Amino acid sequence: MNNNQLTPLSEEEEQLAAGYVLGDLTDAEVTRLEQLLVDNPALQQEIQAVQTSLDLLSQALPTVPAPASLRAKIVDAPAIAPVLTPPSSRRSGALLKGLAGLGAIALLLLGADNWRLRYQLGLAQQVSSDRVAAILQQPNSRLIALTANDSAAAGTLLFTPGRWQEVIVSFGDLPPLPPDQVYRMWLALENGEIIYCGEFNTESDGSVFVRFTPPETPPQGVKATELFVTIDASADAPDPAGTRVMEGTI
């Protein structure tokens, strides 16, 4: 927990910690932060402290009492459902299917020192037309079709083989999700691994147009075989065993 014996931080380290929490680090700064974080528990603790400072900011607001009528709507709502429900067989099946990739994903997500991945997972980027043009100008750029299992949703993914660092996705008729859920995209490899690409929400008309810079790329020589999209709770860590709603073969 709190350790006052840690080495004092430099101005640069404090700047990087603040930039990390604000999500505004440049690529060079992420690389520098990764270097500094090696064997530097003081810097790791500082990031937590800065994050906490920001997380608590909303509790400085002057309190506006909630309307009295709201309490009745919440407290007198119909009975609360039991919390612990057994997983559905569908989900269990999906879990087994995704099991092969889970080890790799878990390592990626939980690796204590993988700050770049955590940072990049926390960010996403909007699409600019020049990025689409840049990919389309590659002679070998490809479009992969994705279709939905049980809806009219359809879409395409644009990428350049060998350059998985940047992909662009366009979907239509994908149902908007409740605010606490997100769509997540995954890439399945021929060796059974599953790579997380990023998450997105639809516009109100069901359309999606996003650019991903997946933090992980397929290992050299390992082919990607399939793309799929899952629905997940936005508060959950990415999990490839979520309900699949769209798939496409590469």
Partner 1 sequence: MFCFYTAPEAPPFSMALMSPNASDIELIESLRSGNPDALAGIYDRYGSLVYTIALKILKYPAEAEDLTQEIFLNLPDKEKFDPKRAALSTYLSVLARSRALNRLSSHGSQQRSLQKLKRLLPDRSHVTPLEQASQAERKTTLQQALATLPDQHRTILEMNFFQGLSHAEIAQQLNIPLGTVKSKARKGLMDLRQHLGEAVQ
Nearest distance from residue 121's CB to partner 1, in Å? 7
Closer CB to partner 1, 190 or 203, in the complex: 203
- Give the footprint of partner 1 on this chain (CB under 8 A): 1-2, 14-15, 17-19, 21-24, 45, 47-67, 70-71, 73-75, 77, 79-84, 118, 121-126, 176, 179-180, 200-201, 203-204, 233-237
The CA angle 183-59-178, to the nearest 5 degrees, is 20
**Least CB distance to partner 1 at residue 46 (A):** 8
Q: Report the nearest approach of partner 1 to the CB of residue 167 (Å).
A: 16
Three-class DSSP labels, the chain: CCCCCCCCCCHHHHHHHHHHHHCCCCHHHHHHHHHHHCCCHHHHHHHHHHHHHHHHHHHHCCCCCCCHHHHHHHHCCCCCCCCCCCCCHHHHHHHHHHHHHHHHHHHHHHCCCCHHHHHHHCCCEECCHHHHHHHHCCCCCEEEEEEECCCCCEEEEEEECCEEEEEEEEEECCCCCCCCEEEEEEEEECCCCEEEEEEECCCCCCCEEEEECCCCCCCCCCCEEEEEEEEEECCCCCCCCCEEEEEEEC
Structure tokens at 28: 């060079």
Of the pair 113, 190, the CB lying nearest partner 1 is at 113
Minimum CB distance to partner 1 smaller for 190 or for 236: 236
Q: How far is the CB of 12 from partner 1 (least distance, A)?
A: 11
Q: Which is nearer to partner 1, 62 or 221 (CB)?
A: 62
Q: Which is nearer to partner 1, 35 or 63 (CB)?
A: 63
Query: Least separation, in Å, of the C-beta of 61 and partner 1?
Result: 5
Residue placing its CB nearer to partner 1 in the complex, 53 or 151: 53
Structure tokens at 169: 């996705």
Cβ at position 104, least distance to partner 1 in Å: 19
